[in-house]
A = this chain, B = another copy of it.
Amino acid sequence: MTNPDTADSATPTLQVIPLGGMGEIGKNIFAYRYGDEIMVVDGGLAFPKAHQMGIDLIVPRIDYLLEHQHLIKGWVLTHGHEDHIGGLPYILPRLPRVPVYSAGLTLGLVREKLTEFGIKDGEVDLREVQPGDKVRIGQHFHVEFVRMTHSIPDNMGYILTTPVGRVVHTGDFKLDEEPADGKTSDLARLEQAGKEGVLLLISDSTNAERPGHTPSEAEIARNLEGVIAGCRGRVFLTTFASNVHRIQNVLHIAHRQGRRVVMEGRSMLKYAQVAQGLGYMEAPDPFLTSDDVGELQDQQILFVCTGSQGQPMAVLGRLAFGTHAKIALRRGDTVILSSNPIPGNEDAVNLIVNRLYEIGVDVIYPPNPRIHASGHASQEELATVLNLTRPKFFLPWHGEPRHQINHAKLAQTLPRPPKRTLIAKNGDIVSLGGDEFRVSGTVPAGGVYVDGLGVGDVGDEVLLDRVNLSQEGLIIMNAVLHPTPHVEIVTRGFVRPNRELDFQIKRVALEVVEQGVREKKRLEDVRDDMYGAVRRFVRKATGRNPILIPMIVD
């Protein structure tokens, strides 16, 4: 291999290979490859869309990593959100044990997750780093971690020095000037990198369509403090369980206002436990349980609950539908949703909000008052990072095409726009070095569906069946040929029990079967005839196309 310091056209390029999170929001994972070395970043999951029926979650396809597993030298995790670490239990056990670097809270959450999956500590080589730390991965990757604020503590981007030049990856970020832990983004380090020269910037595109600056957690906390101060009864507050900053601020507010806090819901308790255990959350008063609050007055109680996304089985859902075993909402209570629905969850959240109104509790949610802020940078912040780092090349990441392209357009309006911007997709091999910056090939990429215990045994053809079944249901025709031809009908999801219609379908099927027997047709032909005759009859009689399943017993 040539000496990277005297790079010429024969020098190997640096490849950036997104396997998830490029052109989508979710299941973030990508690989850097230089020569015979690979370094991987994150390993997230995605939640299914409405048409992906029955799917629990989606993890990235890692064919590329499996095929080149002997080249993997190390792993970097930017932060502890599910879309960055939730896929690791499905990914890490299938690959060689290499060092996995991240900050304390992120590793705490990863450990918790691996334990749930029965993966032992020794099977994974987790190594804690701090922002500012530098590690070498393989021979060629020098990683310097950079603190960036986000909606979870210990979030980091990094500056990656490689033989072809410097890459700045923001990770998920916003530029919060008043984060709950007082630790702001290390813009000085980004600026310095910009002065030293940045070959490539990979930056968070989630909110590239939003003008202005994403509000600080401190502003949200001030607004929440005002709202809670106005509540005379019990307060039930929900937010993302991973938003340790937000919850920390709520704990302080509760303390100042003389309210004791009850944490309700499995994930709320889990995050609080991990964050407290590692020193990322401080409870001014010990948490109570719902059994303990009997002696307190209503205005001395604040519940922090799961269910901000309208999940019917989470705490807020059970409260709204009156199915919580221990707590019943009543007039005088206030429910505060310090969250927005994630796209796809709007209907579920709306249903719960309406139920809460019907119960007669006060319901308070954004945007009026402003009691939620995104964890992702808006246009002004994106411009700041582009201006500070002044990259030669730019890869808008962590977004759908609309977000990537608007991020690219924003970059073009700045005083020193990147020389070239690529809108990449999962599976693209983005090659760079010198003046080269292009998609030079592709690798397999996409999603693996996780459904129950099954990982990958449900594919798109199975989902298509589920969609079809959901639209008009199905009719099973079970024909017995001997001694006397006879047809049984079973339907599901078709129409209400309807003897007349069943009778007619049976008659249509039986006629064809009897004819087939008389003419001594082959079994498959009788089956196909029955299928066709019933299909035509049902379409004409009902205007519908249920799935038909013909079965024949000779």
Chain A interfacial positions (CB closer than 8 Å to B): 49-50, 53-54, 209, 211, 343-344, 346-347, 350, 353-354, 357-358, 363, 368, 400-402, 405, 451-454, 457-459, 461-463, 465-474, 476, 478, 480, 488, 490, 492-496, 498, 541-544, 547, 549, 551, 553
A473 contacts B478, C-beta separation under 8 Å: no
* Closest residue on chain B to residue A545 by CB atoms: B452
Q: Which chain B residues border A493 with CB–CB below 8 Å? A: 53-54, 462-463, 465-466, 468-469
A347 contacts B49, C-beta separation under 8 Å: yes
* Closest residue on chain B to residue A363 by CB atoms: B402
Q: Which chain B residues border A405 with CB–CB below 8 Å? A: 357
Q: How far is the CA of A54 from the CA of B458 in the complex (A)?
A: 22
Q: Which chain B residues border A54 with CB–CB below 8 Å? A: 470-473, 493
Q: How far is the CA of A50 from the CA of B48 in the complex (A)?
A: 14
A542 contacts B49, C-beta separation under 8 Å: no
- Assuming the contacts A496-B459, A544-B452, asked whether A549 and B490 have C-beta atoms less than 8 A apart, the reply is yes
The residue from B363, B368, B402, B453 contacting A353, defined by CB atoms under 8 A apart: B402
Give, as a whole number of angstroms, the nearest-CB distance from A376 to chain B.
17
Give, as a whole number of angstroms, the nearest-CB distance from A380 to chain B.
14
Q: Which chain B residues border A457 with CB–CB below 8 Å? A: 495-496, 498, 542
Q: How far is the CA of A454 from the CA of B462 in the complex (A)?
A: 28
Q: How far is the CA of A400 from the CA of B457 in the complex (A)?
A: 41
B472 contacts A469, C-beta separation under 8 Å: no
- Assuming the contacts A478-B478, A488-B551, A549-B476, asked whether A462 and B350 have C-beta atoms less than 8 A apart, the reply is no
Give, as a whole number of angstroms, the nearest-CB distance from A125 to chain B.
30
B492 contacts A474, C-beta separation under 8 Å: yes
The residue from B209, B467, B470, B495 contacting A458, defined by CB atoms under 8 A apart: B495
Q: Other CB < 8 Å A-B pairs besides A454-B544, A469-B470, 8 of them? A: A209-B368, A344-B346, A453-B542, A457-B542, A462-B496, A478-B551, A492-B547, A492-B549
Q: Can you name 11 A-B pairs with beta carbons within 8 Å? A: A54-B473, A344-B346, A344-B347, A363-B402, A452-B472, A452-B543, A454-B542, A461-B496, A465-B493, A470-B470, A551-B551
Q: Which chain B residues border A344 with CB–CB below 8 Å? A: 346-347
Q: Which chain B residues border A468 with CB–CB below 8 Å? A: 493
Q: Which chain B residues border A473 with CB–CB below 8 Å? A: 54, 462, 465-466, 469
